[in-house]
Structure 1
Amino acid sequence: MPSEGVELSPSENILTNEEILRLAALFVKSGVTKIRLTGGEPTVRKGISEIIAGLNELRPQGLKSIAMTSNGLSLHRRLPDLISSGLSHLNLSLDTLDEFRFELMTRRRGLHAVLRTLDVALASLPYVKLNVVVVKGLNDSEVLDFVAMTKDKPIYVRFIEFMPFTAPDELNDTARTYKIPGHTGNFGFISSMSDHFCATCNRLRITADGQIKVCLFDAKEVSLRDELRRGATDSELLETIGRAVLGKQEKHVGMQDIDVVTNRPMILIGARPDRRSNSYFFSQPINRQSITASFIPVLHRFSSSSASLPRLSHLDNTGRASMVDVGDKLPTKRIATACGRIYIPEVAYELVTATYPALDPTGSDSNPSHIAAAKARRKGDALTVAQLAAITGAKQTSSLIPLCHPLALSNISVVLSPEVSAADGAGARRYSIVCRATVSCEGKTGVEMEALTAVSVGLLTVWDMLKAVAGEEMEIGEIRVIEKTGGTHDFTRV
């Protein structure tokens, strides 16, 4: 879920409860035995209890399992009623057991609420599955902590690669499952990117707006909602479903082009190339044995199809901000130099460069210029303070600029130099302070942002130091990178 949230799809685009239950009944009569409600977060759907109760009425026709995947944040209050309505299996999405990391990864607090849901579920259900998306360098150190949870409790942990599938533990499983002798639960790995399990996959997805999708990696979709609303019979709906299933490929489709093909990531399952849509119900059977349903609020953005257009490295193929992956790059010596300038009036220039007498300890000096100068100088030597601020700013760049990688900087050199330009035709001179910062590191990405941050913070500090005497007359500008080495595109600006 993006930090800014998502726009909700118009309710008329979404399948009604009656439409959902009609499709579910059609699949069950055709041999489907498992239905999963997932998301997004299915508990935000109004009428979720009624949907589960309606699905429960399909058990005499052969439905054996009604499952749900949830973030568990508020589920502990509703879970007993949902189980009473017919819910039989639960997957909880939980990527970390660390409270701080939980807030970082989910953008909200609530780890204790999820763990409470887990306890409530274990008291009422035969077992609970935990879906753990493993991200290198973020939560991979917790793998053994999750495995330890399987020792005394019937918890089935599924470690999922970054583009996950929902995973049942049956013949047509998407996970490779392991069990430690003596442990009550088990754990497994869902390798949706590096491996494929297409030969045994028996899942389809139906989005909240009624699109049938036979594979996450395949952008093709067929609208069952449109068929329903034009008055299609059950036989016609089955024919449409059959055509979609016959189009399923032998293995993951278009993996070599996954970064450029317009397809929906998990948060966007359900959107189509010709419109916007963001709340979805989806499901999964392939050989008519299981169907998984889910609700996903999403916003789909589409970029130009022209491969020749420039591409911003910090945007993914949906237009969302994304940190650049530098994992495959080799560390090299990286150096960048940036500079900038703050223009100041003559009185401020003299204050910075001249030596002033000590402050009047009696406070009897009433000269306004002396008072202003004293006020500015109480903060300390302007250029020394600005130099220290610039160095600190360079070290804090990744905290200030969201998508910058944190780097172990090996050296930061900052020099602030007062300058006076030659008189122009009118005999006027311009006074300024130039800030020049050179930053270096041994790393996989460049340090231009660190150099630019150092210069910007240094000049802003000069402004702060001198605003008592020159606030309305100062001007910051000409901030730029003038040299960069150690990367693919080195340059020097004159």
Structure 2
Amino acid sequence: MLLSAKLRGATRLAQFHTTSRVGITASAASPATTALGSRQQARLKIQAQDAVSPHLIDSFGRRHDYLRISLTEKCNLRCTYCMPEQGVPLLPNDSRLTAAEIERVASVFVRNGVRKIRLTGGEPTVRSDLVDIVERLGRLRQLDSLGITSNGIALKRKLPALVDAGLTHLNLSLDTLDPFKYELMTRRRGFDRVVEVLDLAQRLGGRGSPLRVKLNVVVIRGVNDDEVADFVALTRDQNITVRFIEYMPFEDNRWSTRKLVPSADLLATLESKHPDLVKLRDSANDTTRAYAVPGWRGSFGFISSMTDHFCGTCSRLRIGPDGGVKVCLFGPPVLSLRPLLRGSSSADPSALTSPATDDQLMEAVGRAVYGKKFAHNGLGATASRRPALASKPARSIPVHLLPLRAGPRLRTFSTSRHTSSNRTFSSSPRRRSDDDRLTHLDPLTGKASMVSVSAKDATKRSATATGEIHLGARAFSLIDLPASDQDTAALRTKKGDVLSIAQIAGIMGSKHTALLIPLCHPLSLSHVAVSFRPVPDSHSLRIEATAECVGPTGVEMEALTAVSVAALTVWDMCKAVAGKEMRIGEIKVVRKTGGKSGDWARPPDGEPGST
């Protein structure tokens, strides 16, 4: 399979060079080109100009001519759907690509067929050399589009210089038209500045044409979904494109399907308000399904990345501020360009070598691109389109948006419209916490998924679980009760010493937990102990199991499995005596140590509490 993949790659590379050579020499007076019609010669020239290198074609035949370059991980906002309130860990300054390195990477990609570059962040205006970077990329005349995605907070003063430097497209993020709600969603002030940038952008132009302006709106149920019609109303008199983006899951943004508003629902709402909506023609590989109200200057569209993904026509690659290459938004970086650019081994950055040539750079990129999964980094997606997720009604902003606390309870904010005259507050608590979600469910598909613990540190952990098996009077009478605390109880039947066998079974069961529980991580246990204590008043046996390990995740499941298997073994060996009297119950974790959540023990009343 590897050999065939290499052969396919070699064939595509040969075809690329052949097409390029034919296109370049098509106008020469040679017998081969003379026989070609003028229309076919023109087509070959266009193919030569627009050809995408085989290095930028994946195993599904998708051609990647769109490059998104993140200039920084820093941001001057803390939007609830994409960044924790405390921000994200910052890279050392020397870990970010320099302006010269960004220029080199961009020029190499452009020579291999990239025709669209967008600068992103974090927030790209945070970089002091932003104008210099745009000037460098603006000199790449093969580019059809040079854009930037910004929140607009610090953009107004820089925007004219950016347009003069070659900026052709601006994507401005604005999720609400209500200044009050803006502060809730971004955890910062600045609504007026964004509106000023939107107004200024429509008066600027570069390279002989107006600056193309798009307004990005992330729609969250109960937060801003009631403002969709108001955003569309902006397109009546403004030559802008409003894009409604489905709420996507990212780390720590507390995503859930109940906050997701399917684009189909939004379109149905807008069609009821504007029955004459027209569908516009979407450009190739466009992520937006575009619409317009007849007679209005602007347009609007939907980016349905969750309910109707566009992975089959994906043409985008991403480079992070540290040079990490992501072939899919939902996946981790699969290649680091920084050591290649600076002349150090990717396996050992301290081992200096000569910097990679442009060809070596693209060969590394080509291997990464060819391994790209079909959809959502392979997280349960298939080549078929995803069915639309069912929508659920919600009336209030998710509580995690609100930075203020009212006593021990978080306040909620409700609104039926975005106007300031219609704000109401309620002190009622949430009925359900945003943390009440199943960690073993893939947020993209809702299907079972193993939780990644690769980033967690290995620490010493232990857990103790208990449970009871009710034997009944007859079976309980067969127990040799210990004379003192130092003696060991024994339950003997015709099958042998029940408790000794059950103890071994519990230990073995604990060690095989990952085989019994499908999504449980296999752990190397350092110790497992199983013990029994008779409870004469109820004719029961109390089982206790403790599991210990040094690893990245807890051993609660191993302790619970030990108790469960030990209890089932007792049942099996006593069923001839106890018959239908036996029952197993009260299996629970009673204490644990280690891990991020710390040590805790279950109080006597049965409710967990810190030790």
Q: Calculate the TM-score normalised by the size of structure 1.
A: 0.52
Work out which of the residue numbers 303, 319, 322 in structure 2 matches 1:206: 319
Return closer, same or farther for 1:3/1:228 CA change in 2, 3 Å cut-off.
same
Aligned runs of 1:165-314 on 2, under 5 Å? 170-230=283-343, 231-256=355-380
Equivalent AA in structure 2 for residue 155 of structure 1: I
Work out which of the residue numbers 27, 39, 42 in structure 1 matches 2:121: 39
Secondary structure in 2 aligned to 1:66? strand
Work out which of the residue numbers 65, 86, 102 in structure 1 matches 2:182: 102
Return closer, same or farther for 1:405/1:104 CA change in 2, 3 Å cut-off.
closer
Equivalent AA in structure 2 for residue 57 of structure 1: R
Query: Aligned equivalents of 1:101 and 1:174: distance in 2?
Result: 28
Query: Aligned equivalents of 1:180 and 1:482: distance in 2?
Result: 65
- Does structure 2 conserve the Cα–Cα contact (< 8 Å) formed by 1:133 and 1:164? no
Secondary structure in 2 aligned to 1:163? coil
Query: Aligned equivalents of 1:51 and 1:443: distance in 2?
Result: 47
- 1:163 corresponds in structure 2 to 248
Return closer, same or farther for 1:145/1:404 CA change in 2, 3 Å cut-off.
closer
- Does structure 2 conserve the Cα–Cα contact (< 8 Å) formed by 1:178 and 1:186? yes
Equivalent AA in structure 2 for residue 134 of structure 1: V
- Does structure 1 conserve the Cα–Cα contact (< 8 Å) formed by 2:213 and 2:241? yes
Task: State yes or no: 1:2 paired with 2:2.
Answer: no
Query: Aligned equivalents of 2:189 and 2:297: distance in 1?
Result: 30
Cα distance, 1:220 vs structure 2: 4.8
- Does structure 2 conserve the Cα–Cα contact (< 8 Å) formed by 1:398 and 1:406? no
Query: Aligned equivalents of 1:175 and 1:164: distance in 2?
Result: 19
Cα distance, 1:222 vs structure 2: 0.6
Encode CA deviations 1:383-403: one digit per residue, 9 max, x unaligned.
Answer: xxxxxxxxxxxxxx9634576
- 2:110 corresponds in structure 1 to 28
Work out which of the residue numbers 115, 132, 135 in structure 2 matches 1:53: 135
Cα distance, 1:161 vs structure 2: 1.1
Query: Aligned equivalents of 2:104 and 2:299: distance in 1?
Result: 36
Encode CA deviations 1:75-118: one digit per residue, 9 max, x unaligned.
Answer: 11111111111111100000001010001111111111100000
Query: Aligned equivalents of 1:13 and 1:443: distance in 2?
Result: 43
Equivalent AA in structure 1 for residue 373 of structure 2: Q
Aligned runs of 1:40-439 on 2, under 5 Å? 40-59=122-141, 62-125=142-205, 126=210, 127-163=212-248, 170-230=283-343, 231-256=355-380, 399-401=406-408
Cα distance, 1:170 vs structure 2: 3.1
- Does structure 1 conserve the Cα–Cα contact (< 8 Å) formed by 2:411 and 2:429? no
Equivalent AA in structure 2 for residue 209 of structure 1: D
Q: Which runs of 4+ in 1 moved over 6 A?
A: 327-330, 402-407, 480-483
Return closer, same or farther for 1:443/1:68 CA change in 2, 3 Å cut-off.
closer
Encode CA deviations 1:457-485: one digit per residue, 9 max, x unaligned.
Answer: xxxxxxxxxxxxxxxxxxxxxxx9999xx
Equivalent AA in structure 2 for residue 21 of structure 1: E
Cα distance, 1:252 vs structure 2: 2.0
Equivalent AA in structure 1 for residue 134 of structure 2: I
Secondary structure in 1 aligned to 2:310? coil
Where does the alignment leave 5 or more consecutive residues of structure 2 unmatched? 1-82, 251-280, 344-354, 382-390, 395-403, 415-427, 434-601
- Does structure 1 conserve the Cα–Cα contact (< 8 Å) formed by 2:324 and 2:333? no
Query: Aligned equivalents of 2:393 and 2:189: distance in 1?
Result: 34
Q: Percent identity?
A: 53
Secondary structure in 1 aligned to 2:160? helix
Higher relative contact order (CA 8 A, sep 6+): 1
- Does structure 1 conserve the Cα–Cα contact (< 8 Å) formed by 2:412 and 2:429? no
Where does the alignment leave 5 or more consecutive residues of structure 1 unmatched? 258-326, 331-396, 408-440, 447-479, 484-488
Secondary structure in 2 aligned to 1:199? helix
Equivalent AA in structure 1 for residue 323 of structure 2: G
Query: Aligned equivalents of 2:363 and 2:283: distance in 1?
Result: 28
Return closer, same or farther for 1:164/1:156 CA change in 2, 3 Å cut-off.
farther
Moved more, 120-129 or 46-55: 120-129
Return closer, same or farther for 1:482/1:110 CA change in 2, 3 Å cut-off.
farther
Query: Aligned equivalents of 1:233 and 1:116: distance in 2?
Result: 44
Encode CA deviations 1:264-287: one digit per residue, 9 max, x unaligned.
Answer: xxxxxxxxxxxxxxxxxxxxxxxx
TM-align CA RMSD? 3.3
Moved more, 224-233 or 21-30: 224-233
Query: Aligned equivalents of 2:430 and 2:178: distance in 1?
Result: 29
Equivalent AA in structure 1 for residue 199 of structure 2: D
Moved more, 22-31 or 123-132: 123-132
Return closer, same or farther for 1:236/1:121 CA change in 2, 3 Å cut-off.
same
Query: Aligned equivalents of 2:282 and 2:133: distance in 1?
Result: 24
Cα distance, 1:63 vs structure 2: 1.1
Encode CA deviations 1:30-78: one digit per residue, 9 max, x unaligned.
Answer: 111111111111011121111100011111xx11211000000121111
Give the length in aligned residue pairs: 281
Query: Aligned equivalents of 2:222 and 2:316: distance in 1?
Result: 31
Cα distance, 1:130 vs structure 2: 0.4
Equivalent AA in structure 2 for residue 246 of structure 1: Y
- Does structure 1 conserve the Cα–Cα contact (< 8 Å) formed by 2:248 and 2:305? yes
Cα distance, 1:490 vs structure 2: 10
Q: Calculate the TM-score normalised by the size of structure 2.
A: 0.43
- 2:75 corresponds in structure 1 to none
Query: Aligned equivalents of 1:7 and 1:113: distance in 2?
Result: 27
Equivalent AA in structure 1 for residue 200 of structure 2: V
Equivalent AA in structure 1 for residue 317 of structure 2: L
Secondary structure in 2 aligned to 1:245? helix
Equivalent AA in structure 1 for residue 288 of structure 2: A
Query: Aligned equivalents of 2:410 and 2:308: distance in 1?
Result: 29
- 2:432 corresponds in structure 1 to 445
Query: Aligned equivalents of 2:98 and 2:607: distance in 1?
Result: 57
Secondary structure in 1 aligned to 2:300? strand
- Does structure 1 conserve the Cα–Cα contact (< 8 Å) formed by 2:217 and 2:243? yes
